[in-house]
């Protein structure tokens, strides 16, 4: 028992160490193929794989030498990033890279690693001419590997990367699902982003209820039937709300696992990334290892709480867990929901900022409006659609602007469009 505890503690310490050194920017969901023979180098690459920046990437390992790579092997694997350990003479290396350059996909970035010797400068010049993007030579660390991947992939990352925003509450009942659903509608209405709202709460999910969608094939059906999951199936699961908002639903039941099965979750993320969509995860309020793994893949995390002392204590624990995954990233937003409802037990937003170490730009307050939220739920709509000008809707639109990097709304609109909006409301 002691050995297991010590090992787990060591892993968490290592993750926390890497998180502190990380700038909070995640790499796109690349396919990485690492080919190495040296045990120490393979261990180093596995450490790089654990880096928080690589949380969305898929890594595969092959004990294979450069001179054993065939055209068929490259076609079968087709990685985005190819990491190769080299142990050939300079002449043999140039000859083999010349052959490789004829069969390699143009979008594949090649990083060579020499775990033993520092290469000759003339060799460096020759290999770069043959399409090699980076050459690592000793001494190098897992951080150097991550930075090499970041630098060589900069030109292909924007094409592939979607955005993932995760919503969860510090405890149940704080309104995290309502925040996720209303901000998804706001982003789809006031931007060009294609939004996918995925309900990940298999026990208490409310997306189907709040959008009045009950007859759809769901993620739960796919998991129960153990259906093969591919892009075509995922597209068929979508329920369209408007031109730019689609839903992925679950069938909530206490018999379900709190978390979606890992293969289904990965398929959802991959589908968003391939199309450059903005994926919203409406997550269960369960803080465990599966939750941390999901959050490690998010670009932005929105935590909801009520402005009470109990929620402040829960938020403090949640943020401690969150920072072990996200490090010093500022892509975290705190939403204080139902403000004004707990008149005798309200904790000011400044107290949340001080305890959680947040800046004012990271904290939003949504006023309590039970009647409006209830009417929106019964109509299968959102309060952004139902009463756009009210204080609660305006707060939700502001949250949507932060997580989407801006909206075409209000003063951000050109003058002629602002005038058209005013005429539309007046008419």
Encode pLDDT of 323-347 as tens digits. Answer: 877 766 668 999 999 998 877 778 9
290, part of any domain: yes
- Please check the confidence at residue 374 and state whether its pLDDT lies above 90: no
140/184 same-domain check: no
Mean pLDDT of all residues in 6-29: 53
pLDDT mean across residues, the chain: 80
Encode pLDDT of 230-282 as tens digits. Answer: 777 777 888 888 888 999 998 888 888 888 877 778 778 777 766 678 999 99
Which pLDDT value is given to residue 274?
Answer: 64
Full domain range(s) for residue 95:
28-156
20, part of any domain: no
201, part of any domain: yes
Which pLDDT value is given to residue 341?
Answer: 84
Q: Of 91, 121, 156, which marks where a domain is finished?
A: 156
361/293 same-domain check: yes
140/206 same-domain check: no
5, part of any domain: no
Mean pLDDT of all residues in 166-188: 92
CATH number assigned to the domain comprising residue 221: 3.40.50.300
Encode pLDDT of 349-372 as tens digits. Answer: 999 999 999 999 999 999 988 888
397/301 same-domain check: yes
- Please check the confidence at residue 416 and state whether its pLDDT lies above 60: no
125/181 same-domain check: no
Mean pLDDT of all residues in 131-137: 85
200/133 same-domain check: no
109/245 same-domain check: no
CATH number assigned to the domain comprising residue 44: 3.40.50.2300
202/348 same-domain check: yes
- Please check the confidence at residue 10 and state whether its pLDDT lies above 50: no
104/125 same-domain check: yes
CB neighbours of 364 closer than 8 A, spacing ≥ 6? Answer: 333, 334, 335, 336, 395, 398, 399, 402
212/78 same-domain check: no
Encode pLDDT of 25-78 as tens digits. Answer: 677 778 899 988 888 889 999 999 988 888 778 898 988 777 777 666 666 667
Question: How far, in Å, CA of 320 to CA of 308, rounded?
Answer: 18
Which pLDDT value is given to residue 8?
Answer: 41
Query: For the chain, what is the domain count?
Result: 2
Q: Please provide residue 185's backbone torsions phi and psi, each rounded to the nearest 5 degrees.
A: -65, -40
- Please check the confidence at residue 122 and state whether its pLDDT lies above 60: yes
Which pLDDT value is given to residue 344?
Answer: 72
Question: How far, in Å, CA of 209 to CA of 255, rounded?
Answer: 18
Most confident of 159-163, 240-244, 280-284, 296-300: 280-284
CB atoms near residue 202 (< 10 Å): 23
Question: How far, in Å, CA of 391 to CA of 174, rounded?
Answer: 18
Q: Of 105, 128, 156, which marks where a domain is finished?
A: 156
Which pLDDT value is given to residue 3?
Answer: 46
Q: What angle do CA 187, 193, 197 make, to 5 degrees?
A: 60
- Please check the confidence at residue 375 and state whether its pLDDT lies above 80: yes
39, part of any domain: yes
333/207 same-domain check: yes
Q: Of 117, 132, 156, which marks where a domain is finished?
A: 156
249/368 same-domain check: yes
């Amino acid at each position: 028992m002691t050995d297991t505890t010590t090992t787990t503690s060591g892993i968490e310490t290592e993750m926390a160490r890497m998180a502190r050194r990380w700038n909070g920017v995640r790499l796109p969901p690349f396919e990485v193929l690492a080919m190495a023979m040296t045990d120490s180098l393979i261990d180093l690459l596995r450490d790089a794989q654990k880096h928080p920046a690589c949380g969305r990437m898929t890594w595969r390992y092959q004990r294979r030498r450069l001179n054993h790579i065939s055209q068929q092997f490259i076609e079968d694997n087709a990685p985005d990033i190819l990491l190769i350990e080299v142990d050939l003479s300079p002449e043999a290396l140039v000859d083999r890279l010349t052959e490789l350059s004829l069969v390699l996909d143009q979008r594949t970035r090649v990083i060579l690693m020499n775990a033993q010797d520092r290469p000759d400068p003339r060799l460096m010049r020759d290999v770069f001419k043959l399409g090699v993007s980076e050459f690592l030579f000793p001494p190098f660390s897992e951080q150097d590997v991550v930075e090499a991947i970041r630098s060589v992939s900069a030109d292909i990352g924007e094409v592939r990367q979607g955005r993932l925003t995760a919503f969860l509450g510090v405890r149940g009942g704080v309104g995290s699902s309502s925040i996720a659903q209303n901000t998804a509608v706001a982003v789809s209405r006031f931007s060009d982003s294609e939004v996918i709202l995925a309900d990940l709460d298999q026990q208490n999910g409310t997306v189907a209820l709040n959008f009045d969608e009950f007859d759809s094939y769901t993620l739960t059906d796919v998991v129960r039937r153990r259906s093969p999951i591919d892009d075509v199936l995922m597209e068929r699961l979508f329920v369209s709300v408007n031109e730019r908002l689609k839903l992925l639903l679950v069938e909530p039941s206490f018999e379900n696992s709190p978390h979606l099965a890992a293969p289904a979750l990965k398929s959802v993320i991959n589908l968003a990334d391939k199309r450059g969509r903005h994926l919203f995860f409406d997550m269960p309020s369960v803080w465990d290892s599966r939750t941390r793994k999901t959050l490690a893949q998010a670009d932005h995390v929105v935590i909801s709480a009520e402005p009470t002392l109990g929620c402040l204590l829960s938020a403090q624990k949640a943020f401690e867990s969150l920072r072990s995954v996200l490090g010093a990233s500022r892509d975290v937003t705190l939403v204080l929901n139902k403000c004004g409802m707990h008149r005798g037990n309200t904790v000011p937003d400044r107290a949340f900022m001080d305890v959680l170490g947040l800046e004012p730009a990271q904290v939003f307050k949504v006023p309590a409006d039970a009647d409006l939220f209830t009417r929106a739920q019964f109509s299968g709509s959102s309060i952004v659609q139902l009463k756009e000008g009210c204080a609660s809707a305006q707060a939700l639109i502001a949250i949507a602007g932060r997580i989407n990097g801006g909206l075409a709304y209000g003063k951000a609109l050109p003058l002629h469009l602002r005038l058209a909006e005013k005429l539309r409301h007046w008419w």
